[in-house]
Amino acid sequence: MSQRKLIFIYNAKGGMLHAALDTLHKVLSPSTYPCELCAITYGWTSMHPDWKKWIDQLTLPAVFLHKDELHGTGISSNMPLPAVLYHDGWEYSVLISAVDWKKIPDVQALVKALENKMTLIEN
């Protein structure tokens, strides 16, 4: 059986060029930026310190994927993004869906939402 893990999927393409373009988009037109996960967890140049601290203390492995990196993972490329999934070794459960981001304004709200969802899964 595979190891349990959290999977964070950005609604953005991977790579340095896309990262630079995404940063410009977030700065120039934040209201039209399509990846709330990135907007909340990253600043202009690096990961938000509170988010990094939370990720570093996780007891589960965290995997970070971009929408163009889903091939071969068993995750549907048609899933609305961004999303946070939990993989128990057999199947995926959506912890934070694309719709949920409307209720998550910042890192603290994201951490609280994830901790609440993870408590439900682990009990």
Q: Which residue has the tokens 């595979």?
A: 2
Helix 49-57 to helix 107-122 angle (10° resolution) is 20
Q: How many CB atoms lie within 10 A of CB 98?
A: 17
User: Domain boundaries in the chain?
Assistant: 5-122
What's the average pLDDT block by block, 10 residues per block, for the chain (123 residues)?
84 73 65 82 86 95 94 90 94 94 95 92 71
pLDDT score recorded for residue 119: 87
Q: What is the pLDDT of residue 34?
A: 72
Query: 5-122 domain in CATH 3.40.30?
Result: yes
Q: How many CB atoms lie within 10 A of CB 86?
A: 20
How many angstroms separate the CA atoms of 29 and 27, rounded? 6
Which pLDDT score is estimated for 1? 40
